[in-house]
Every structure is written in C-alpha cells, then in structure tokens.
Amino acid sequence: MKLPIFLVLAGLMPAVALPATDAPPPQWRAGAARTVITPTEPMYLAGFASRVVIAEGTAMDLQAKALALEDDRGTRFVMVTLDLVEVANQTRDAVAAQVQAKFGLPNEALLLNCSHTHCGPELRFTEEEFSELKDPQRRERCLRYNAGLVEKITGIVGESLQRLEPVTLVYGHARCGFAMNRRLKNEKPSGEPFLNSPNPDGVVDHDVPVLSVTRADKSLAAVVFGYACHNTTMSIKEWHGDYAGHAQRIIEEAHPGTVALFMMGCGGDQNGYPRFGDLFSQRHGQSLATAVEAALQAKARPLSGPLKTAWDTVRLDYQPPPTEEELQKRLATPQGSDPSYSIYRRDWDRRRLLALQKGSLRDHYDYPIQVVHFGNDLTFIGLSGETCVDYSLRLKRELAGSTPLWVAGYCNDVLAYIPSKRVLQEGGYEAGTSIVYWSNPLHPNFFDPSLEERIMGRAVGMARQP
Ligand SMILES: [Zn+2]
C-alpha cells in the first residue's frame, strides 16, 4: 500500500508542518491577474480641466487587476480594478460582452472599479467628444487605447478564472484618516455656495474594508481594500497611480506574490489632505497601506458562501432642461458680457441645443447598481458614478445590525457626480456645476432631487434580498 505523502513525511517533520486532516473542504477558489495599462503612445492626461497636456513620461505604471472568486457551487464573481480616471459604460459593455462570450461570465458577475487617478490618460468615446479636437491623431490614439483596454481587461479576467485555486476569504476593516470633506460653505455673498476647500467639520467615511484571499499554504494571494477619497493628491504631467498606486505598491512589497487591488469608495466629495505632490501622495498611500495591515490583524470574519451576484438599474430623472428658445437666447449674448455665464456653461448650452435639435437629448439615465452577497458574512454594494459620501454613510446606517457592509462608488459606469439630496440642494461642484463638463453622457440638466431615494431604495432592497 502506498502511503499518502503527508503520512510518509509525518515521521520526519514537526507536527505543526502537517496539513490538518480534519480541515473542512475548501469552500472558495480564487485567482488573480494583472496587466500594465500605461499608454504606449503619446496621450493627454485626464481629470484636471486646467492641465491639457500630453503626458511627458511614466512616474508609476498604471495597472489593471482582476480577482476571480468562485464558491463551492460554482458561482463566480470577478472584480476588476483600474488605475484610471473613470470607467465608461462603453468600456464595461464591451468587456461584459467579451467575458460572457469567452468565459460564460454573466453581466451581474463582473465588477469594474476605477481609482480615479488624475494622472491617467483621457478617455473619449463619442463623436461629440472627438469633434472638439483639432489634432486627428488624438482621436485615433483614444480609440486605440479604448480597444486595447477592453482586450487587456478581458485577458486578465480570463487569466484570473484560469488560476482559480482553493483559498479562504476573510473580511476585516480598519480606519484611515487622511480623507477630508472638500465642500466648504462660502461665507461670501458672491460665487459658488460651496467651495472646493478642506472642511474638517464635514462628513467623512474613514472605513477601510479589506478582503483577504489566503492560499492553503497560508500565503496571501490577494487583498482588496477600499477607501472613500478622491485619488487626486498629484497633478504631475506623468502617468501615476497617485496614493492608491502607492498603497497597492506598498502592500505588494510587504507581501511578495500578492496582488493588491484598490477599490474606490464613495469619495465624490472627499479629498486627501494635504495635497499636492508626490510626498503627500506617498504618505497617504503609506497611511492606507498601514490601515490595511491593521485590518489584516484585527478581528477577522471568515466568509462563507453562497456567493450571490445581482445587477439592476434605477431610473434617474433630471430637472427640466431649458427650452430651445432659452438656449438660443443665452447663446446669442456676447461672450464675456455676463461673468456668471462661463465658457464651459456656454459650451454646455451649445451641446444641449444641438442634441435638442437632433432629438437626442436624453430625459433620464438608467443608473446601474450591483450587489454581491457572501452568504450572511458580507454584503458588497457597488454604486455607479462619482458617488458622494452621504450614500455610504446612509447605507451603513440603514443596513446596520445585520451583515457587514462594503459600499464602493466609481463602479461600472462613472456617468457624473452623484450628489445626495442634501448636496444637490446645497449646490456647488458635486451638486451639478460639474455636470456642464460632461459629454459622455451629455446631461440635459442637473439631477432631480429624487435621485437619492431612488438609489437608496433599490440598493437597500437588493442588499436585503439575498
Ligand atoms: Zn472626481
């Protein structure tokens, strides 16, 4: 009779090195993969309207990472994190179609999240976005980058699924304090009602949720961690992952062989302070990485299945847009005659008028919400857009007392800032003045205040119905 190898070795090695023969069968399998998505052609930097330049080089490579999870019933979920300013619905739709066709992965089992680094490439998709460009090469490079990105994301989703191996999943969380609310009430009678300035008394969500993936040999295969804060500590003219890039790098250096994935939270109205510069970016990255290490040591919650993924859209309405006559009247005024009518507002009116005349001005937006249940041990809610922090705070309040909750923003379709009703009524950048810059999609007006109840109602309903 041939003895199993571990019985042969049992007489030679100390008992602690033996595999536990009474261990339960592995409930989970996981696989991780990564690829570099730094542009290989000259491309413009994204994010800051005041910095319209081609990147001068690479200070830190941008990466796409995938983590595939599978429970013991074969249900799968793949999360992809991107060192990019946004996830466009065009990118997600194209990846979702490919991974469905190639790997049979259903739409609701695919999550895309972006770190919102402003040191990544501009992402343009529509002819309207291209029409304003004078350099035809810029359009071609954007299109080539988009196509390459879809191929690369599809590739790492496939690799992560091929690498599935038995693991244990553990959830923990810690806190990290560098995010500060960035909406400061303007005490002056003129200008925006709220300024983009640090507000130490404003609402924050300092939670650092952490999902760790450990192999049978106890090595850390992957760690996913979240934080609700704009990833905009840097405004250099080179490619860079900013504080989230530093945090991922620091965790991976501390745990060789690990893939660290940053999941952006509801940081629409949060900035890391101090800013700007690589020194602060490194410090914030180190702070976040330290919080992740703390979460790995804190009271851990092993996750059981079953895995359940859900996807739904909720209708968001807009405030009534101006009429064709109103738009034409405003556009007929001499440029510069009204200081409150900026060139950006004028351009928004021009684009809205064109859409109105073509009959293509949208009247609502179908807003995606994704929910993933890990049995009764963890509920993950993925919200779309630049979601303000009121959403994660309210979801944690309304769903308190049951399953631990992880709320991510910047998932799947970064269509606009998503203000809460409070932020919308207060006014300012996140409330709607940012919406004038958006052309993918072009919004007809600010959102109707009903958006918070609609998003909350659907997200809570999905979270409560595993
Ligand atoms: Zn932003």
1 alpha carbon – ligand 1 mean position (Å): 66
Give me the pLDDT at residue 26, please: 59
Strand 165-175 and strand 179-185: the pairing is unpaired
Give me the pLDDT at residue 50, please: 86
Are 373 and 404 in contact, with CB atoms under 8 Å apart? no
pTM tops 0.95, yes or no? no
Give me the pLDDT at residue 220, please: 97
- Domain borders along the chain are 28-316+366-464, 322-358
- Residues with CB under 5 Å of ion ligand 1 are 386
87 alpha carbon – ligand 1 mean position (Å): 12
- Can you tell me the distance from the alpha carbon of 461 to that of 442, in angstroms, rounded to the nearest whole number? 29
DSSP assigned state of 272: E
Tokens coding 17: 């090195």
Strand partners, 63: 36
Mean pLDDT by runs of 10 across the 466 residues of the chain is 38 37 70 98 93 96 98 98 98 98 98 98 93 91 98 98 97 98 94 93 98 96 98 97 98 97 98 96 98 93 94 98 97 90 93 95 98 96 98 97 93 98 96 92 97 98 90
Give me the pLDDT at residue 23, please: 52
Give me the pLDDT at residue 132, please: 82
Give me the pLDDT at residue 15, please: 36
184 alpha carbon – ligand 1 mean position (Å): 16
Give me the pLDDT at residue 24, please: 58
What is each CA distance from 345 to 169, 176, 278, 323, 445, in whole angstroms? 49, 37, 33, 15, 11
Give me the pLDDT at residue 2, please: 39
- Can you tell me the distance from the alpha carbon of 394 to that of 382, in angstroms, rounded to the nearest whole number? 14
386 alpha carbon – ligand 1 mean position (Å): 6
62 alpha carbon – ligand 1 mean position (Å): 18
230 alpha carbon – ligand 1 mean position (Å): 6
Give me the pLDDT at residue 189, please: 87
